[in-house]
Amino acid sequence: MHVVLRKWSGSDAAELAGILSEDDVHEFISDLPRPYTQKNAMEYIAAALNSSDGNFQSFAIEADGRLAGCISAERGKNVYRMSAEIGYYIAKPLWGMGIATAAVGKLVQFIFDNTDIIRIYSTVFAGNAASARVLEKCGFRREGTLKCALVKNGRLHDAHIYALIKGETLQ
């Protein structure tokens, strides 16, 4: 599958709302409005396009010419300014096709080639083995477990933290 990271477009709103209407997509991501409407999608896309300080970047993930999901990076603040946190999700019908792995690899390369960031990390719900595997395939290493760090649907969850340091080999 040919995977591209690109800027968002207003025309992505309907497809984005469709992706985020899938219950399973919500299981391991940050809390978002439910149901996720086209209006929510338009607001997110507008915010992503208007983020001009360079500290937050969001890209549409396109696979074989169709919207497949979202990937974003946010630079840390103050003493964490040389780090960035990434997050991503893929449309449920496209799970298991290597799209997330390709997208993470492309974003990591973009960040390391175009910024002064030296550490990229991601926190993963402890039960999200697929996302952990995506990060591992991209060369991230598990640094530890944050106990009871996440609250989702009224339940506490542990989070695994994965990181990649610039100069470490991308696999």
What pLDDT score was predicted for residue 122?
98
What pLDDT score was predicted for residue 51?
81
- Quote the number of domains for the chain: 1
The overall average pLDDT reported for the chain is 94
Percent of the chain exceeding pLDDT 70 equals 98
- Token pair listed for 3: 């995977």
Residue 98 covered by a domain: yes
What one-character-per-residue DSSP string does the chain give? --EEEE---GGGHHHHHHHTT-HHHHTTS----SS--HHHHHHHHHHHHT--SSSEEEEEEEETTEEEEEEEEEE--GGGTTEEEEEEEE-GGGTTSSHHHHHHHHHHHHHHHHS---EEEEEEETT-HHHHHHHHHTT-EEEEEEEEEEEETTEEEEEEEEEEETTSPP-
Domain ranges, residue 52: 3-165
Residue 55 covered by a domain: yes
What pLDDT score was predicted for residue 170?
53
What pLDDT score was predicted for residue 27?
87
Residues 6+ apart with CB under 8 A from 130: 95, 96, 100
Q: What pLDDT digit, counting tens, does each position of 63-83 carry? A: 999 999 999 999 999 999 999
Q: What pLDDT digit, counting tens, does each position of 102-136 carry? A: 999 999 999 999 999 999 999 999 999 999 999 99
Residue 85 covered by a domain: yes
Percent of the chain exceeding pLDDT 90 equals 87
* Stronger pLDDT, 170 or 92, i.e. the higher one: 92
Residue 19 covered by a domain: yes
Residue 171 covered by a domain: no
Assess whether pLDDT exceeds 70 at residue 169. no
Q: What pLDDT digit, counting tens, does each position of 137-152 carry? A: 999 999 999 999 999 9
Q: What angle do CA 96, 99, 103 make, to 5 degrees?
A: 145
What pLDDT score was predicted for residue 69?
97
Q: What pLDDT digit, counting tens, does each position of 13-29 carry? A: 999 999 999 989 988 98
- Token pair listed for 16: 């984005």
Question: Mean pLDDT throughout 41-50?
Answer: 94
Confidence of residue 168 (pLDDT cuts 50, 70, 90): confident
CATH label of the domain that carries residue 42: 3.40.630.30
- Token pair listed for 7: 């800027």
Residue 28 covered by a domain: yes
Residue 30 covered by a domain: yes
Assess whether pLDDT exceeds 90 at residue 171. no
Residue 170 covered by a domain: no
Residues 60 and 6 sit within 8 Å (Cβ to Cβ): yes
Residues 160 and 123 sit within 8 Å (Cβ to Cβ): yes
